[in-house]
Amino acid sequence: MERAATLGNEQAMNDTANYFHYGTGVEQDFAAESEWYRKSSESGNTVGMLEFGQNLLDGRGVTVDVERGVSLIRRSADAGNGRASNRLGHMYEYGNHVERNLVLATTYYGKSARAGYTWGMTNYGTALMLGQGIAKNEPEAVAWLTAGAERGDTLAMNN
């Protein structure tokens, strides 16, 4: 796997990073994990952008760099990564590493939902149900919460 990663295969870069993160077949090494996600990110891979960005926020294997971490997660979200859109929405909803902004939170939850990310569907549906950062729209909220529930999200099932 590491050979394919070294040759530039983005999926292999992400897989190698995961091996180092969990210590699967190698000694757990967060610096190596971050290095592989950095390489994946620099090749334009949205998963690499999200994961390296999160590592920069958490200081996992790298020095904390909030500005760069948020920027990478935003780039991933803006490139269509539903999980990154949901993560960025959560950051805006709670003011984690960014100024709290419910309109932006809901905007990114909506992008996440439309990208097919289950938790994004639930978060967007919840925002619509509550009128949080967006006009209240119960029929649309129910549709998104139902979609999240059908994909197994128990939070959506309980809303």
Torsions phi, psi of 23, nearest 5? Answer: 70, 35
Q: What is the pLDDT of residues 42-81, one digit of tens each?
A: 999 999 999 999 999 999 999 999 999 999 999 999 999 9
Domains of the chain: 1-79 (1.25.40.10), 85-154 (1.25.40.10)
For residue 140, CA distances in Å to 46, 108, 127, 131, 137 come to 28, 16, 10, 11, 6
- Indicate if the alpha-carbon torsion angle 77, 112, 118, 116 is positive or negative: negative
For the record, the structure tokens of 141 come out as 């909220």
pLDDT of residue 154: 85
